[in-house]
Structure 1
Amino acid sequence: MLPLTSGNTRVKESRKLSRRSVRAERRLFLADGPKAVEGALALPGCVVEVYATPAAAEQYAALAAAGPAWTLVDDRALASLSDSVTPAGVVALCRFVDRPLAHVLDRAPRLVAICADVRDPGNAGTVVRCADAAGADAVVFAGQSVDAYNPKTVRASVGSLFHLPLAVEPDPAAAVRAAQDAGLTVLAADGAGEVELYESDELLARPTAWLFGNEAWGLPPELAELADHRVRIPIHGRAESLNLSTAAALCLYASAREQRR
């Protein structure tokens, strides 16, 4: 059977998922690249279909054996489904993976990352990846945060989007209160915080939800005030601040270290 072309109806319909409105309506998204596809295939019921070029199907034969039959497409069709400059040749059509916030918090989590109004898809995906690496139990995208299923967010998570529970909550304040009601101490990452990260070991050992704000303006004062504590990362050099994903990695790993002592 010849590979599908970019004009094929299935390919054209899948290509529409580049738009957030279509993703939200269908609750489907595309996961681009072998790491993302591997993560999606490991999550039961997530993958609807996998598109691959003949060369990629041969290269990733072990992956192809792990899930539903792969659909072969030509290079041009694959490129139309990928937003990567150099597509790896394999893209999975996936169902949304988020769960209600209450369901995520009902599992007695010890470490959660809440992203409030995080707009950059690369940063958001990297925070998910850092949370996964630090052994966090969940990630929450709150407020006007970037779509968790944005292709750049999915790619930046390098498969971690499929490794830990994800919730989407339109109201950041509601996310904070829900975390507190679940027994988590909410720590706001704030450059003007009253507590220094490396002088708060006892605090970090508690079940914790880290609250991270927007890349440009941080956390609104009214949201930061809802947190149990505001924690600052010391800046020893002349840098004005840290990149959001870097700060998130430091905070999450500091908690992971204390919770594992």
Structure 2
Amino acid sequence: MNLTEDHDETMTNVRAEKVREVARLATRTGRARAGEFLAEGPQAVREAMKSHIARDAEGKGAVVRQIFATDDCLDKYPEFEEMVAKAPGVRARLVSPEVLAAMADTVTPQGIVATCVIPETELEQILAAKPALVAVLCRVQDPGNAGTILRAADAAGADALILTGGSVDIYNPKAVRSTVGSIFHLPIATNVELSEVIAALKAQGSTILAADGYGAADLDELQDASAARRTGGTFETNSEAPVLEDPTTWLFGNEGQGLNEDELSRADHRVAVPLYGIAESLNVSTAATVCLYASARAQRRK
């Protein structure tokens, strides 16, 4: 590992201030004060470093501040030494397993963590890119769900993730781990007023769809109609039904309550994911994955 010149020894003191400083990033207050969050594990740190190197090449701001890794981890993943050499401004330190454990949020850390800059992405920046597919989390409070939805949005090729006030901090360690590195791939705007998001995206021509188990529109029927349009056929559906090929913004609600009436009333359509078994409902992250992929498939095949 390339070490900074003022540190040439492995960190072994678990009570050192630097260790406490990194560990505080597990708390919302600690993240807010530092303007940083913690990425844990080889996959998350690898994606953070790729993003850092790419942004540096474009003359943009830093992604990673510091990396802390054990010898065993570097023996297993030697590519990190090369990445650090290509990443200006990133400070790297060797640490003992005990120090790494004191820094990390997980019970069994994977030998490497990075402190990363919390990006300040404004809604205007997302709008400037004319997004075709956006996921909006309305009061989603479980970090695992939020992180999984972000990962699904990334995999589906969505253009952005937006979280309204009352939603979980997406830079919570559990949420970051759930993204498996996708947190470094998508623009993310947090604590945004839903009315502002919807007004702005509607003005750009985006259709607002609310994922709602009691919705009048059936996602299967919308996909069948999309397939029929591609092949020049016909599929009988409501003439006012949404077109999945169009620019779309999906709203996903709270785990226990779903979308409330105010949130639902702001959507152009309420769309239900059909249930074929006897399950009462789908987990919000599972429903979000199905909905985002339905839109992504239709848009890509248009």
CA displacement at 1:39 relative to structure 2: 1.1
Matches within 5 A, 1:210-229: 210-229=250-269
Residue equivalent to 1:46: 63
CA displacement at 1:3 relative to structure 2: 1.5
CA displacement at 1:198 relative to structure 2: 1.4
Residue equivalent to 2:232: none
Task: Give the whole-Å Cα distance in 1 for the aligned partners of 2:38 and 2:195.
Answer: 30
Residue equivalent to 2:122: 100
1:21 counterpart = 2:61: no
- Contact 2:215 2:271 (C-alpha < 8 Å) held by counterparts: yes
Q: How many residues align?
A: 261
Task: Give the whole-Å Cα distance in 2 for the aligned partners of 1:99 and 1:236.
Answer: 40
Task: Give the whole-Å Cα distance in 1 for the aligned partners of 2:51 and 2:136.
Answer: 22
After superposing the two structures, state which structure 1 stretch, 65-74 or 229-238, moved more. Answer: 65-74
- For residue 9 of structure 2, the aligned residue among 2, 27, 46 is 2
Residue equivalent to 1:64: 81
DSSP-derived class of the 1:129 partner? helix
Residue equivalent to 2:274: 234
- Contact 1:101 1:169 (C-alpha < 8 Å) held by counterparts: no
1:80 counterpart = 2:102: yes
Residue equivalent to 2:284: 244
1:32 counterpart = 2:40: yes
- Residues 32/110 of structure 1: CA separation in 2 closer, same or farther (3 Å cut): same
Q: When the two structures are superposed, what TM-score results if normalisation uses the length of structure 1?
A: 0.96
1:205 counterpart = 2:245: yes
- Contact 1:35 1:159 (C-alpha < 8 Å) held by counterparts: yes
Q: Please tell me the residue identity of whatever aligns with 1:210.
A: W
Segments of 5+ residues of structure 2 without an aligned counterpart are 1-7, 53-61, 85-89, 227-242
Segments of 5+ residues of structure 1 without an aligned counterpart are none
- Residues 69/169 of structure 1: CA separation in 2 closer, same or farther (3 Å cut): closer
Q: Please tell me the residue identity of whatever aligns with 2:209.
A: L
Task: Give the whole-Å Cα distance in 2 for the aligned partners of 1:6 and 1:178.
Answer: 48
Residue equivalent to 2:59: none
CA displacement at 1:185 relative to structure 2: 0.9
Task: Give the whole-Å Cα distance in 1 for the aligned partners of 2:191 and 2:268.
Answer: 20
Task: Give the whole-Å Cα distance in 2 for the aligned partners of 1:199 and 1:97.
Answer: 39
CA displacement at 1:69 relative to structure 2: 4.8
After superposing the two structures, state which structure 1 stretch, 78-87 or 152-161, moved more. Answer: 78-87
Task: Give the whole-Å Cα distance in 2 for the aligned partners of 1:228 and 1:80.
Answer: 48
Cα-Cα RMSD: 1.3
CA displacement at 1:10 relative to structure 2: 1.6
Fraction of identical pairs, as percent: 46
CA displacement at 1:78 relative to structure 2: 0.7
Q: When the two structures are superposed, what TM-score results if normalisation uses the length of structure 2?
A: 0.83
CA displacement at 1:14 relative to structure 2: 1.4
1:114 counterpart = 2:121: no
- For residue 126 of structure 1, the aligned residue among 138, 148, 157 is 148
Q: Please tell me the residue identity of whatever aligns with 1:59.
A: K
CA displacement at 1:96 relative to structure 2: 0.7
CA displacement at 1:60 relative to structure 2: 1.7
Task: Give the whole-Å Cα distance in 2 for the aligned partners of 1:13 and 1:26.
Answer: 9
